[in-house]
Chains A and B, each alone.
Chain A
Amino acid sequence: MTGSVTLAASVPELILSIGAMLLLLVAGWRGDEASRGISWAAVALFVAASVSLIGAPSHAGIAYGGLYRADAFAGFAKLLIYIASAVSIMLAPGWFSRTGAMRAEYPVLILLSATGMGIMVSAGDLLTLYVGLELQSLAAYVLASCMRRDLRSAEAGLKYFVLGALASGILLYGISLLYGFTGTTQFSGIHAAIADRGLSTGILFGLVFVFAGLAFKISAVPFHMWTPDVYEGAPTPVTAFFASAPKVAAMALMVRVAVEAMGPATDAWRQIIIFSSLASIVLGAVAAIGQTNIKRLLAYSSINNVGFALIGLAAGTPEGVASVMTYMTVYIAMTLGSFLCIIRMRDLDGAPVESIAALSGLSRSRPGLAAALAMFMFSLAGIPPLFGFYPKLAVFGAATNAGYFWLAVAGAVGSVVGAYYYLKIVKTMYFDEPAPLLASSDDKIEGGLIALSALAISPLGYLAIPVLSAATLTAAKALF
């Protein structure tokens, strides 16, 4: 493969990283006043990167001597990542203008983080995986503590950093074991080594450590401890970002490592994934019940949802992988929608409100917002006719078809338990005595984004199923 073709395969990353550096210069020159313009320029860069995913070069296959894969799977995951990152940038200026000055570096850091996520989902080698993961995480640590004067934000950043460094260490240990026992860091090479020589104890150890490191990034139980604290402490737009784009990237990376590198060892990793998914579903559902802070509640909700997505991976079939991608697609629409509603919650002085009690009687004071939040909650609970039901059906269907009927049943039981706390929020909004009034908002961008995500998860979403299932299946087939 010639050099130019290789470069062309990674055009999305080039657009994002070079654009981020240019915007960094603008930020350095003009300071924080330019942050609104930089935000829109960053959104434009995401649009350009998404457009560059279409077309031949992005499906060029293997590039950079096996380090980088540009296939349909990476393309699909990147599209989701870019959409979620662009939304996280768009909802920031409104929120930051009410609580403190918006930093011009915020969009730049999200751009660089999205570059890292693109490298993650395109990884064809353990080294690419690690560099992408570090780029994404390091930008995320800074974003979590970007409101320095807020004690909780600083705490969230520090906690995220220390635990993330520990997870990176575990991941690297696994990578070194895999390299030592297979003699290569390439996914295809590891695949061949396991297929040829079988699964030795050393490789098994490496596999467990790598999965533990990745489970931290998707916050699957038992590596979820950081999630509620970080989600609660980080500024809300940053939390919305954490709950959407990096989750998709880490999930896609996990799927790729499981299928492409560890394909012959499916029976070995399936047990880990099944345990992790059931534990995430149960813990996410039970621990959320006692929460009084809506951001903490959504953190447990994201743990719970990751558990459902992992059921699809446990199936280990192309259908299962497709269902994981379907799940993540609908998940980011629901999560971003919920966080957009939370961003609108603030008292009459403009200070953000995060307690669930403040939502009491919202249906009378702000009927539109209450209806939208109720829709997202019903959808997260997986109650038909809302679209959140369909991805759950898809992962359960994939598990059943792969012969794991009991897993689907356990997941369905877990989703009933989880429905309790989603419905409790709806009850608070519709049937409780009104709490002190929340300030009304006329931010057109936030309103438009809420309407858009509500539309995506409304029953109209079922019209998109043919397109969605075709795209996810093409993406999944690229791995097998």
Chain B
Amino acid sequence: MIQILAFYLFAIVVVLSGVLCVTARNPVHSVMWLILAFFNAAGLMLLVGAEFIAMLLVIVYVGAVAVLFLFVVMMLDIDFTEMRSGFAKYLPIGVALVAVLAGEIIFATSAWNAGGIPLGDAPTPDPEAIPNIQALGLLIYTRYLFIFEGAGLVLLVALIGAIVLTHRKRGDVRHQNIAKQNQRRPEEATVNMKPPVGQGVEL
């Protein structure tokens, strides 16, 4: 009973915040609604027992992607009213795409339910015996260790690439010299002056 209640709560909030995300006038508010949608989708995932995906949604999507969106929205000067101006014009195309996709999904699921697709059976662990986070961890860090490390190298290359392609030396930057700062003594930095009455200080 409580599960059904929780499902309807999460589901309604996801749909509502999705609609508000699209319709909100202020782009920052849109991102906020998006974050709310992510949190509630994570709740839905927990309900079906996919706790790993729930954690991914919170950590990756809320923690990284949404914050990145927020940065982009706040940093870049995007004219959102102009972007929205074509809304009515492109609406039929969007609706047509939605109709095609929905039709495909219905077709694929009914074909699946009719048993028309002979898929190979992939070995999956018993969810009663081992929680799925543990099962994934076991696979990633033992059997697929080689690929995991390879993926790490791919990320390293992405990092190098970003720096190689965007970093340039600028001559007019004054870097902080911590050693010099630490060596500085009060007697070098301050001078004791005794200005005579009626005259300014000569430095």
Contact = CB atoms under 8 A, between A and B. Distances in A.
Are both chains from one complex? Answer: yes
Interface of A: 10, 17, 21, 24, 64-65, 67-68, 103, 105, 108-109, 112, 115-116, 119, 125, 127-128, 131-132, 134-135, 138-139, 141-142, 145-146, 148, 157, 179-184, 193, 197, 200, 202
Nearest to A103: B164
A184 B147 contact: no
Contacts of A65: 143
A65 B141 CA distance: 13
B164 A182 contact: no
Contact of B147 (A24, A128, A141, A183): A128
Interface stretch (B22-30, B44-52, B119-127): B119-127
B120 A141 contact: no
Interface of A (DSSP majority class):
helix
B117 A202 contact: yes
A17 B149 CA distance: 10
Contacts of A141: 161
A105 B160 contact: yes
Given A105-B164, A115-B153, A131-B154, A182 B146 contact: no
Given A103-B164, A135-B157, A138-B157, A128 B122 contact: no
B149 to A, nearest CB: 8
B144 interface: yes
A180 B112 CA distance: 13
A18 to B, nearest CB: 11
A109 B165 CA distance: 12
Given A109-B161, A115-B153, A131-B147, 20 more contacts: A17-B153, A21-B156, A24-B160, A64-B146, A67-B146, A105-B164, A112-B157, A112-B160, A138-B154, A138-B158, A139-B157, A142-B164, A157-B165, A180-B120, A182-B120, A183-B120, A183-B122, A200-B118, A202-B117, A202-B119
Nearest to B143: A65
B94 interface: no
Contacts of A24: 160
Contacts of A132: 150
Given A105-B164, A128-B150, A183 B157 contact: no
A2 B160 CA distance: 34
A82 to B, nearest CB: 17
B146 A68 contact: yes
A10 B153 CA distance: 15
A67 B120 contact: no
B157 A10 contact: no
Interface in B143-183: 143-147, 150-151, 153-154, 156-158, 160-161, 163-165
A184 B120 contact: yes
Closest 8 CB pairs of A and B: A183-B120, A142-B161, A131-B150, A64-B146, A182-B120, A183-B122, A138-B157, A105-B164
Given A148-B165, A180-B120, A183-B121, A127 B147 contact: yes
17 contacts: A24-B160, A67-B147, A103-B164, A109-B157, A112-B153, A116-B150, A131-B147, A131-B151, A135-B150, A138-B157, A139-B157, A142-B164, A142-B165, A183-B123, A197-B118, A202-B117, A202-B118
B109 to A, nearest CB: 15
B193 to A, nearest CB: 44
Contacts of A139: 157, 161
Contacts of B151: 131
Contacts of A145: 165
Contacts of B145: 64
A109 B147 CA distance: 19
A134 B118 contact: no
Residue among B120, B143, B163 with the most chain A CB within 10 A?
B120
Contacts of A134: 154
A135 B118 contact: no
Contacts of B123: 183
Question: Which of A21, A128, A142, A180 neighbours the largest number of chain B CB atoms within 10 Å of its CB?
Answer: A142
B62 to A, nearest CB: 26
B67 to A, nearest CB: 24
* Interface-centre pick from A24, A132, A135, A148 (highest chain B CB count, 10 A): A135
Most B C-beta atoms less than 10 A away, residue of A115, A139, A180: A139
Interface in B105-122: 117-122
Contacts of B153: 17, 112, 115-116, 135
Contacts of B163: 105
A382 to B, nearest CB: 37
Nearest to B151: A131
Contacts of B146: 10, 64, 67-68, 128
Nearest to B123: A183
B98 to A, nearest CB: 22
A202 B112 CA distance: 14
Interface in B76-131: 117-123
A19 to B, nearest CB: 12
B120 A135 contact: no
Given A109-B157, A127-B144, A200-B118, A119 B164 contact: no
A21 B156 CA distance: 9
Given A65-B143, A141-B161, A180 B154 contact: no
A181 B120 contact: yes
